[in-house]
Structure 1
Amino acid sequence: MTIENEDQLEKLRTVGNLVARTLEAMGKALEPGMTTRELDDIGRAMLEAEGARSAPELTYNFPGATCISVGPDCAHGIPGDTVVKAGDLINIDVSAELDGYFGDTGASFSVPPTTKRIEKLCRDGRRAMWSGIRAVRPGGKLNEVGRSIERFADQHGYSLVRNLASHGVGLSLHDEPREIPTWHEPRDRRTIPEGLVFTIEPFLSLGANHVEELNDGWTLRPPGKQPTVQYEHTLVATRNGPLVLTLV
């Protein structure tokens, strides 16, 4: 969506702040011995306490309030009886609807103790996301986001998953523009209008360039099981630069 007035912006700020706080609480609660369902219950309780609804449940009838993926899975994992273990790489994606507006955020967490390589992957996953955010300019090309992320990945020896993309958000979980590559797509001629609301969510990997859907119909995993992280913010393109809505 493209924001048309201050009331819309305030509602997007509210739901953005809620999903950000929910993600933060789930990340802090993450520990060996708990199940991913117990972690999901924490997220559900926070969303419902403020009158919000899980966006994947609402939009796609997803079997959970949040998406929790335990490596090598990296997206759309179903919360369940999987027990968190030390050394796990876990992605949590939180999106919700509140008062007709949607917010979307996500992050990957390494459960200590983990290797230096995985710690660096997580740190660089955040850096890749921010390199894309800094490329946002009203009137600029939308593919500059992917160009910036790809440049970062190439410089630091990573690959990018290229069958998962960022997207518009706001009045629905997946709003216009529907797909925003987090790699450079020179054929993409779209520009960024002022007020555009969208996510930036690169999947940075130690070798994977695509993911495959598992038999459960949801969970996504690199076929080579390469460690892969995702970090995601919802933002608005403003004349003063990108306004991130999903910061705590």
Structure 2
Amino acid sequence: MPKDSIGHLLPGTVSATRFVPAHIPRPEYVGRKAPAPFTGSDVYSPARIEQIRASGQIAARAIEAVGQAIRPGITTEELDQIGHDYMVAHDAYPSTLGYRGYPKSLCSSVNEVICHGIPDTTVLDEGDIVNIDITAFKNGVHGDTNVTFIVGEASEAVTLLVERTKEAMMRGIKAVAPGRQVNVIGRAIESYAKRFNYGVVRDYTGHGVGEAFHSGLIIPHYDSAPRYDTVMEVGMVFTIEPMLTLGGQESDIWADDWTVTTKDKSVTAQFEHTLVVTERGAEILTLP
């Protein structure tokens, strides 16, 4: 993802697949075109939740390690190496590596890239933003999280977008409670985002996570009532990961079938946590 003459991203060069030691267990989908259909439950036992927390903590700390390296002049390929090395050093498998053919150990989504940006020879510049999305697999479960970082200093509009996208995620998390339908989460997020005339991406959502990378449970980030009416239960595990833009909500996808950008090329930010529904609300499982 180098840039064209007006600063929009272009595809860069993707390096070879990284090595994962043989002693680290792989998710069942590695080496296959797609994961097997998930037939389990999104509600987990306390013991299994602790294992998801352990995976989530590795993912969160890997993002911390990547974040410490972000600066003008570094490539997203180099950031992928840092995240990969951290997970492997902690006996976790990078969940994205080999998922439906995805070639890297994290997603690095720069500026107008909404999600699923592939690390490559893109050089980060002063004022860019980059979303780092990492999922770690260990003990048979995944923990999924992402953070948007500012490279150096950005404009006030972009800086506020990043801050407010994180706040939107937290408002969605605060809306979680057993007995409520999942559509209350998107209602809380969109009502906040509309105060600033931000676009709220609809094509990509939160999801059930744990024994499956994506279980089939959908958590929309917009006001979808009554379309998504799954009732939250104690022990249910899923992600909340709003994607807000400085422009519209429509998206395009590149020829690589992964990189998703805003159609109007407006800047976009995202934050994500994996959480579990508790009797009092929600507990975040992806804290470092």
Smaller-chain TM-score range? Answer: over 0.9
The one of 237, 241, 244 aligned to 2:281: 241
Contact 2:172 2:240 in 1 (8 A): yes
CA distance in structure 1 between the partners assigned to 2:125 and 2:70 by the alignment:
10
Could you say which residue in structure 1 is the equivalent of 2:35? Answer: none
Instruction: Out of 150-159 and 113-122, give the one that drifted further.
Output: 150-159
Could you say which residue in structure 1 is the equivalent of 2:183? Answer: 143
CA distance in structure 2 between the partners assigned to 1:123 and 1:191 by the alignment:
30
SS in 1 for 2:87: helix
SS in 1 for 2:203: coil
Instruction: Out of 154-163 and 95-104, give the one that drifted further.
Output: 154-163
Task: Give 1:193 shift.
Answer: 1.3
CA distance in structure 2 between the partners assigned to 1:194 and 1:139 by the alignment:
9
Could you say which residue in structure 1 is the equivalent of 2:224? Answer: 185
CA distance in structure 1 between the partners assigned to 2:252 and 2:233 by the alignment:
33
**Unpaired runs of 5+ in structure 1?**
none
Could you say which residue in structure 1 is the equivalent of 2:256? Answer: 216
Q: Please show how residues 51-66 of structure 1 align to structure 2 within 5 Å.
A: 51-66=91-106
CA distance in structure 2 between the partners assigned to 1:61 and 1:98 by the alignment:
20
SS in 2 for 1:12: helix
The one of 79, 83, 90 aligned to 2:119: 79
Q: Which amino acid aligns with 2:72?
A: P
Task: Give 1:56 shift.
Answer: 1.3
Q: Please show how residues 137-176 of structure 1 align to structure 2 within 5 Å.
A: 137-176=177-216
Instruction: Out of 130-139 and 83-92, give the one that drifted further.
Output: 83-92
CA distance in structure 2 between the partners assigned to 1:6 and 1:58 by the alignment:
29
Contact 2:44 2:236 in 1 (8 A): no
The one of 72, 96, 101 aligned to 2:141: 101
Contact 1:208 1:222 in 2 (8 A): yes
- Does 2:41 align with 1:8? no
Contact 1:142 1:190 in 2 (8 A): yes
Number of equivalences:
247
The one of 55, 60, 64 aligned to 1:24: 64
Instruction: Out of 128-137 and 149-158, give the one that drifted further.
Output: 149-158
Q: Which amino acid aligns with 2:92?
A: A
CA distance in structure 1 between the partners assigned to 2:153 and 2:279 by the alignment:
43
- Does 2:133 align with 1:125? no
CA distance in structure 1 between the partners assigned to 2:265 and 2:65 by the alignment:
28
Instruction: Out of 200-209 and 53-62, give the one that drifted further.
Output: 53-62
Contact 2:45 2:235 in 1 (8 A): no
RMSD of the TM alignment (CA)? 1.2
The one of 40, 62, 77 aligned to 1:37: 77
CA distance in structure 2 between the partners assigned to 1:137 and 1:57 by the alignment:
33
Q: Which amino acid aligns with 1:186?
A: A
For the pair shown, which has the larger CA radius of gyration, 1 or 2?
2
CA distance in structure 2 between the partners assigned to 1:123 and 1:90 by the alignment:
13
Task: Calculate the TM-score normalised by the size of structure 1.
Answer: 0.96
Task: Calculate the TM-score normalised by the size of structure 2.
Answer: 0.83
Q: Which amino acid aligns with 2:86?
A: M
Deviation per CA, 1:90-149, whole angstroms, max 9, x where unpaired?
A: 111001211100010011111122111111000000000001000000111110001100
The one of 145, 148, 153 aligned to 1:113: 153
Instruction: Out of 41-50 and 206-215, give the one that drifted further.
Output: 206-215
Could you say which residue in structure 2 is the equivalent of 1:70? Answer: 110
Contact 2:234 2:278 in 1 (8 A): yes
Contact 2:44 2:237 in 1 (8 A): no
CA shift in 2, pair 1:190/1:3, >3 Å? closer
SS in 2 for 1:9: helix
Contact 2:42 2:208 in 1 (8 A): no
